[in-house]
Structure 1
Amino acid sequence: MPLSPPPPGATLRHLSSSRSRGIRRWITASCVPLVLAATSVEAADYVFRYGHSHSANHPRSESMRYFEKELETRSDERIDVTLFFDGTLGREEDVIQQVQMGIIQGTRSGLFAQANPAYQLFLMPFLFDDTDQVLEVVHSEIGDQLAAGALDNQIYIPATGLAGGMRQLTNNVHPVRSLDDMHGLKIRTPPFPVTIRAFEALGASPQQIPFTETYMALQTGVVDGQENPPSNIYDMRFQEAQDYLTVLNWQINPDPFFISAKWYRQLPEDLQQIVTEVAEETMERSTTAWLAAEQGFLDRLGETMEIDTLSTAERSEFVEAVAPIWQTFVDDGVFTQQQLDTVLALTGKTEIQP
């Protein structure tokens, strides 16, 4: 069933002020061992502890509640699942490391390049025209290859979905309708070389700030803006510090389900199969619900923000500015020319198109 955006104030695990949010993140991140110890369950044969940065009402969290229910039921409660939302276990990069080390057993995060740097192929600016193209690549042989490559970093990826819809740009300085409007804007970006180079090419000043710290950075003026799909913008309440949103459709992120390879390997074969099956179903449900909810989140953002949708001609200026960076990632060995050509073919392109 498609999920609707929660009403204002319904997000369960946000504190009322940005200062208290920052203090809470520090406390929870420093007390991870205590949090995990307090949730140990002796009755189950195996424990699956999972954490991510989104609130309890976010589509990603809704899908993980399905995972919890189904995995416990189908395993006859041999696996006990505990979910931690709202960045309770720390910053995204720290949580991924906890998965790699086997401290916790699962996460979903925008920092998928930590699992396999070649995932940056998905991040090439303006590569995809719509979500159907992304899903075709995710479910293709090359998608399977990227997932398998994560095993080298102690991460098992049983399934990959989409992390919401197309990513849009927000800021609190002025409307962005041209490249000139981008000049000098301090934009929070994730620490991906692709995103950093793209915003540099657009004339902005990209700033790398953890996702869970972006709200405070916007509120205090450390950065002018950020880029995310509408669902993330609304869930993290970025609109409280942002006045303008530009529908740029510049990028869309995959959503690999990260599971500790160490934990997965110790499971008996029957439980391995159950974990994989439930994860696959979870990601399919997540993608369907998340994409269905995006327009609703955008509409709600429009209640307090000015939204500008670029014309084809206006958008082409942005596309042309970033087109040259594609080849640099092949030259740097992040992914191969063959992998890029395969994705271009799946998207109906024969070359990098400005």
Structure 2
Amino acid sequence: MQKRSKYLSAFLVTLFSSSLAFASGIVLKLGHIAEKTNPYAMGADHFAELVKKKSNGEIEIKVFPSSQLGAQKELIEGLIYGTVDMTLTGTAELGTFQPQMAIFDMPFLFKDRAHAYKALDTVGMELGKPLEAKGIKLLGYMENGIRHVTNNVRPVKSPADMKGLKVRVMNNKVYVEMVKALGASPTPMAFSELYSALQQGTVDGQENPSAHIFTKRFYEVQKYASLTGHAYAPEPVLISMMAWKKLTPAQQEIIQSAANEAIAWQRQLSEKEDQAFWEKIKATGKIEVIDVDRKPFMEATQSVYKQLAKTVGQSNIDKIKALEK
């Protein structure tokens, strides 16, 4: 009897210790709107793996893709109110909460990807600091990709071909003014509603990177894709300040270190996959992919800088342009 009691006590101690270990584990929910095969969705998964490895399983990031936790606006609000711990979201949507962040969506802002990365890792991190007072911490920027126009009405080879087209845009003044400057009619709409809107003809077209055009199967409901490359789309990695403050300094360091590694990994993947996605899109035979002279598009959208320089900050534009060299 005494021996059984001894074993029972040992079992209870083990069970209690395991329960404590389980209770001490941290689970963070990360939501985004992309399909799992999108490069930044893969970046989110890679980040989760790195956090688990670096924390020896103490911190678990549960990733919810495909708008499972809401649209971008809802995800950002979730960070502020603490209902979502982390998200990857576009700077365009983030710009509705911190206007200067929308600078990275300005038309033809970057010379190339190297210029974009340099600007994001310096000016971009500085512009992210005011978000902390609003309940959001910026860990860095992954990449969504380079944006292009698709539509169902006619081949777009110049801004004149955009006249009268109803084009879905994110709910952001930069994209609204950019599409207006190109002669089209901007229609703000949640990303989750876009496929059916294209299918039903609610809008004629949209603009997105190749990864979304392929993984969201927009090529099924669009006839023409024009390689306008009119904007670069970063994908900020964000954590709720509520969640961040619950972490110890050592745990915060693990999260930031994993984010840095995942961002570098994801950027390489995104660049590599961009061309591969275009090859897959062409291989479907369902959409015509058109090369365009980008210069007329650049000239047509210069007015956006005059309209929004005050909003995003002329000094910030100057700092980014200076990094081009």
TM-score by length of 2: 0.89
Mapping for residues 7-46 of structure 1, pairs under 5 Å: 43-46=23-26
- Paired position in structure 2 for 1:133: 115
Mapping for residues 30-179 of structure 1, pairs under 5 Å: 43-110=23-90, 111-140=93-122, 142-164=123-145, 166-179=146-159
- Paired position in structure 2 for 1:224: 204
More helix by share: 2
**Counterpart residue type for residue 162 of structure 1:** E
Tell me the CA shift for residue 198 of structure 1: 0.9
1:138–1:161 CA contact under 8 A, matched in 2 = no
- Paired position in structure 1 for 2:302: 323
Q: Secondary structure at the match of 1:250?
A: strand
Alpha-carbon distance in structure 1 between the residues aligned to 2:178 and 2:165: 13
For residues 272-328 of structure 1, what are the alpha-carbon distances to aligned partners after superposition, in whole Å with 9 as ceiling and x for unaligned?
1111100111111111101110001111112321111113xxx32222111022022
Alpha-carbon distance in structure 1 between the residues aligned to 2:32 and 2:210: 18
For residues 203-226 of structure 1, what are the alpha-carbon distances to aligned partners after superposition, in whole Å with 9 as ceiling and x for unaligned?
100100101111111011000000
Alpha-carbon distance in structure 1 between the residues aligned to 2:89 and 2:100: 16
**Counterpart residue type for residue 138 of structure 2:** I
2:107–2:298 CA contact under 8 A, matched in 1 = yes
Q: Secondary structure at the match of 1:213?
A: helix
Alpha-carbon distance in structure 2 between the residues aligned to 1:45 and 1:276: 18
1:167–1:230 CA contact under 8 A, matched in 2 = yes
Q: Secondary structure at the match of 2:149?
A: strand
> 1:327–1:152: structure 2 CA closer, same or farther, 3 Å change rule?
farther
Partner residue of 2:248 out of 265, 268, 273: 268
Alpha-carbon distance in structure 2 between the residues aligned to 1:50 and 1:127: 29
Alpha-carbon distance in structure 2 between the residues aligned to 1:249 and 1:129: 11
Tell me the CA shift for residue 337 of structure 1: 2.0
Query: Is 2:159 the partner of 1:182?
Result: no
Aligned length: 301
Alpha-carbon distance in structure 1 between the residues aligned to 2:85 and 2:163: 42
1:123–1:253 CA contact under 8 A, matched in 2 = yes
Alpha-carbon distance in structure 2 between the residues aligned to 1:169 and 1:281: 31
**Counterpart residue type for residue 317 of structure 1:** P
**Counterpart residue type for residue 99 of structure 2:** P
Mean alpha-carbon deviation: is it higher for 241-250 or for 106-115? 106-115
Alpha-carbon distance in structure 1 between the residues aligned to 2:95 and 2:313: 15
**Counterpart residue type for residue 342 of structure 1:** K
Alpha-carbon distance in structure 1 between the residues aligned to 2:44 and 2:211: 16
> 1:151–1:114: structure 2 CA closer, same or farther, 3 Å change rule?
farther
Alpha-carbon distance in structure 1 between the residues aligned to 2:309 and 2:160: 29
For residues 83-130 of structure 1, what are the alpha-carbon distances to aligned partners after superposition, in whole Å with 9 as ceiling and x for unaligned?
111111121211111112111210101223245221111111112231
- Paired position in structure 1 for 2:16: none
1:44–1:80 CA contact under 8 A, matched in 2 = no
How large is the RMSD of aligned CA atoms in angstroms? 1.6
Alpha-carbon distance in structure 2 between the residues aligned to 1:337 and 1:92: 27
Mean alpha-carbon deviation: is it higher for 100-109 or for 242-251? 100-109
Q: Secondary structure at the match of 1:248?
A: strand
Q: Secondary structure at the match of 1:144?
A: helix
2:69–2:75 CA contact under 8 A, matched in 1 = yes
**Counterpart residue type for residue 129 of structure 2:** A
- Paired position in structure 2 for 1:4: none
Query: Structure 1 stretches of 5 or more lacking a match?
Result: 1-40, 349-354
> 1:267–1:114: structure 2 CA closer, same or farther, 3 Å change rule?
farther
More strand by share: 2
Tell me the CA shift for residue 80 of structure 1: 2.2
Alpha-carbon distance in structure 1 between the residues aligned to 2:161 and 2:306: 26
Alpha-carbon distance in structure 1 between the residues aligned to 2:259 and 2:210: 25
Q: Secondary structure at the match of 2:150?
A: strand
Q: Secondary structure at the match of 1:285?
A: helix
2:225–2:288 CA contact under 8 A, matched in 1 = yes
Alpha-carbon distance in structure 2 between the residues aligned to 1:178 and 1:72: 49
Mean alpha-carbon deviation: is it higher for 211-220 or for 45-54? 45-54
Tell me the CA shift for residue 45 of structure 1: 3.0
